[in-house]
Amino acid sequence: MQSTFPRLLLEHARQRPDAPAMREKEYGIWQTTSWRAMAELVEAIACGLHQAGLRRGEHLVVIGANRPRLYAAMMAAQALGAIPVPLYQDAVAGECVYPINNAEVRFAVVEDQEQVDKMLEIREQCPQLGHVFYDDPRGLRNYDQPGLASLDTLVAGGQAFTREHPGFFREEIDKARPDDVAAMFFTSGTTGNPKGVVHTHHTLIDRATVGSRFDKLTERDEVLAYLPPAWIGQNIFSYAQWLVTGYVVNCPESGATVSIDMKEVGPTYYFAPPRVFEGLLTSVMIRMEDAGTVKRKMFHAFMNVARRVGPAMMDGKPVRLLDRIVYGIGNLLVYGPLRNSLGLSRVRVAYTAGEAIGPDLFTFYRSIGINLKQLYGSTETAVFVCLQPDHEARADTVGVPCEGVEIRLSDSGEILVKSPGLLKEYYKNPQATEEVLGADGWYHTSDAGFIDKDGHLKIIDRVKDVGRIRGGAHDGAMFAPKYVENKLKFFSHIKEAVAFGDGREKVCVMINIDFEAVGNWAERRNLPYAGYTDLAQKPEVYELIKDCVEKVNADLSRDELLAGSQISRFLVLHKELDADDGELTRTNKVRRGFIGEKYAVLVDALYGGKDEQFIETQVKFEDGRTGSVSATLKIMDAKTYLPIKAAA
């Protein structure tokens, strides 16, 4: 489709002006914006920004949650030939300095007082940031700063300009070409500064169109936009595909109301990273453990049936008539109410990506009738590289190459991609661009993997993270830390894990417990605790986690390539890993190198054979204050197993 985002907007406004484009929940009531109203809003903001001095080729940062007026601001910038740059709304002020200065940003459109405060805080470091417009005026009445104004003021000025220059907006849109830059997304920056990934209208629209065609999306579909718009996955689902298909995007009132809003909206097309699906399942299991005996027994009995025949039914395979009847009863009594309770009763297609999803978790959702699938992609590929067809969804692969994509493997096992959705460049970083985008047009993903006999892609780990065990019984064996970490995170009691082992004689792991899941487990056993740090160091909790670790080891022992990656020793950290403390990226990816340096004393203790180690760690609170958390952490050995072949 050779078009631009503003042209797609005008086309929807012309063809179906009164159809709903977006809904936003405000004060408990859903407010609907039609396509006509959205086009008028975009025109007003674009004209207002033009009057304020925004020019073609400039960048405009947008910071906030999913809000119709923030999406309109992105499109208004595109209508003027400017480039929107969404930033993470939960980033601290200092994290915004580099992208704003790197892109020489003079204009910001932000959601509320929290984001305004960040922009004002960094103004000395970003002297070119002259204009900040805010959507929500609450708490900002007495702010008197140069260049600070409400979006309402900008819209009013734009409307006045439109009356005087009625043809300006469409003339500006007509100047744009599909190969013009449409948006820039900053990578999460697991090592060093984030990189600005530059995408054109063509790359984003092409991939959005391919994904929509693959899953037969139409204007009748409904989406809930609740993940950060700065993450390209949310941007594709709630912006690019929204404008390609014309479906309705629903914006929740706040992060706290997402589960309630899900039930009210009943999305038909849904995306969530594995941690969200894990959280939903954990809440279900916690509620079931607290239910009455009869209800609990009925739930487990029907779930056994679902696990046995549900995935086969979802895949269109033949199932015995008796099993179909029992499953139908289960659907009436358990699966249907469960899907409704999760807000997934209308979901036709659900996707997960970003991290590997546990086989049990994957099977659970498919067994209760939710068409959960995996996809593979990245910021640099405009998301869609591999997708799972409806009847070929598997937990251990990420699907087959989608339309227009070619995949091959380098000699080192790195996945190389050729696609119409590849980035144009890394902004102001030709060296990094050259490293990932060869002259032959192949993008180097930095992921290691292989294609199985069915043509499905299987991811092992990041190429740079795949290492070798040195010394000991497994000398020379492959070590894939992310693969090990993901296997641990498949257990509901483990929230995060960081594995070490490259160049060492054995694998050791630091673990974060899932406070809600383990807390509920402890309460059912009358085990008292005084917070996360106390609970994490309970001997009973260590035994619980040890059981998870040893199950992972037993599983790894059956893997010919990765049997040497079994975990010898582990500890449970005294605090949760946090993006504000630099331990995770804003997309919740582990910064393994940083953690290894920050917790070097713990790494030394794990490999030094110690049984415990004292540590004191500085932490940053949500309000910006700093404090410290200290504890003496226990270190435990785990049972490892002979590789199956060796045992045989």
Q: What is the pLDDT of residues 294-303, one digit of tens each?
A: 888 999 899 9
Residue 300 lies in a domain: no
**Alpha carbon distance 368, 174 (integer Å):** 49
Query: Which residues have CB under 8 Å from 160's CB, separation 6+?
Result: none
Residue 126 has pLDDT above 60, yes or no: yes
Give the rounded percent of residues in the chain with a pLDDT score beyond 90.
75
Q: Which of 49-58, 275-284, 301-310, 421-430 has the lowest mean pLDDT?
A: 275-284
**Residues 10 and 39 sit within 8 Å (Cβ to Cβ):** yes
Q: Mean pLDDT across the stretch 633-641?
A: 95
Q: Tell me how crowded residue 639 is: count the other CB atoms within 10 A of its CB.
A: 12
How far, in whole angstroms, is CA 120 from its chain's centroid?
28
pLDDT at 190: 53
Residue 160 lies in a domain: yes
Q: Mean pLDDT across the stretch 230-256?
A: 95
Q: Which of 41-45, 128-132, 469-473 has the lowest mean pLDDT?
A: 469-473
What phi-psi label fits residue 437: left (phi over 0), alpha (psi between -120 and 50 degrees) or beta?
beta
Domain-terminating residue out of 200, 229, 247: 200
pTM over 0.85: no
Residue 309 lies in a domain: no
**Residues 397 and 456 sit within 8 Å (Cβ to Cβ):** yes
Residue 454 lies in a domain: no
- What element of type H or E holds 209? helix 201-214
pLDDT digits (tens, 9 = 90+) for 570-622: 999 999 999 888 898 877 788 888 999 999 999 999 999 999 999 999 888 76
542 or 645: which carries more pLDDT confidence? 542
Residue 491 lies in a domain: yes
Domain-terminating residue out of 142, 175, 200: 200
Residue 347 lies in a domain: no
**Residues 223 and 238 sit within 8 Å (Cβ to Cβ):** yes
Phi, psi of 90 (to 5 degrees): -95, 5
Residue 352 lies in a domain: no
pLDDT at 645: 59
Query: Which residues have CB under 8 Å from 403's CB, separation 6+?
Result: 210, 213, 214
Q: Mean pLDDT across the stretch 56-69?
A: 97
**Alpha carbon distance 475, 505 (integer Å):** 7
Enter the tokens of residue 397. Answer: 């692969």
**Alpha carbon distance 342, 224 (integer Å):** 13
Q: Mean pLDDT across the stretch 432-458?
A: 91
pLDDT digits (tens, 9 = 90+) for 486-540: 889 888 899 999 999 999 999 999 999 999 889 999 998 999 999 999 999 999 9
**Alpha carbon distance 441, 349 (integer Å):** 32
pLDDT at 189: 60
358 or 71: which carries more pLDDT confidence? 71
Mean pLDDT of the chain: 92
pLDDT digits (tens, 9 = 90+) for 174-199: 999 999 999 999 987 655 688 999 99
Which DSSP letter does residue 249 get?
Answer: E
pLDDT at 191: 57
CATH code at 73? Answer: 3.40.50.12780
How far, in whole angstroms, is CA 201 from its chain's centroid?
22
pLDDT at 647: 39
The residue count of the chain comes to: 648
**Residues 438 and 410 sit within 8 Å (Cβ to Cβ):** no
Enter the tokens of residue 510. Answer: 């630091």
What is the domain extent for residue 82? 5-200
pLDDT digits (tens, 9 = 90+) for 388-412: 999 899 888 999 999 999 999 998 8
CATH code at 478? Answer: 3.30.300.30
**Residues 262 and 342 sit within 8 Å (Cβ to Cβ):** yes
Residue 463 pLDDT class (50, 70, 90 cuts): confident
Q: How many CA atoms lie within 13 A of 531 on its CB side?
A: 7
Count, in order, helices (H) and strands (E) of the chain. Answer: 24, 28
Residue 639 pLDDT class (50, 70, 90 cuts): very high
Residue 364 lies in a domain: no
Q: Mean pLDDT across the stretch 26-48?
A: 96
Q: 3-class SS at 390? A: coil
Domain-terminating residue out of 200, 235, 257: 200
Q: Tell me how crowded residue 642 is: count the other CB atoms within 10 A of its CB.
A: 12
**Alpha carbon distance 543, 469 (integer Å):** 26
pLDDT digits (tens, 9 = 90+) for 97-119: 999 999 999 999 999 999 999 99
- Going from the C-alpha of 28 to that of each of 253, 258, 261, 558, the distances in angstroms are 7, 12, 9, 52
Residue 358 pLDDT class (50, 70, 90 cuts): confident
Q: Is the dihedral of CA 179, 234, 359, 569 positive or negative?
A: positive
Query: Which residues have CB under 8 Å from 630's CB, separation 6+?
Result: 574, 614, 615, 616, 617
Q: 3-class SS at 371? A: coil
**Alpha carbon distance 132, 148 (integer Å):** 5
Number of structural domains found in the chain? 2
Residue 165 pLDDT class (50, 70, 90 cuts): very high
Q: What is the CA radius of gyration of the chain?
A: 26
Q: Is the dihedral of CA 121, 624, 67, 178 positive or negative?
A: positive
Q: 3-class SS at 196? A: strand
pLDDT digits (tens, 9 = 90+) for 376-389: 999 999 999 999 99
Residue 6 has pLDDT above 90, yes or no: yes
Enter the tokens of residue 367. Answer: 């067994």
Listed residue (69, 87, 110) closest to 186, CA to CA: 87
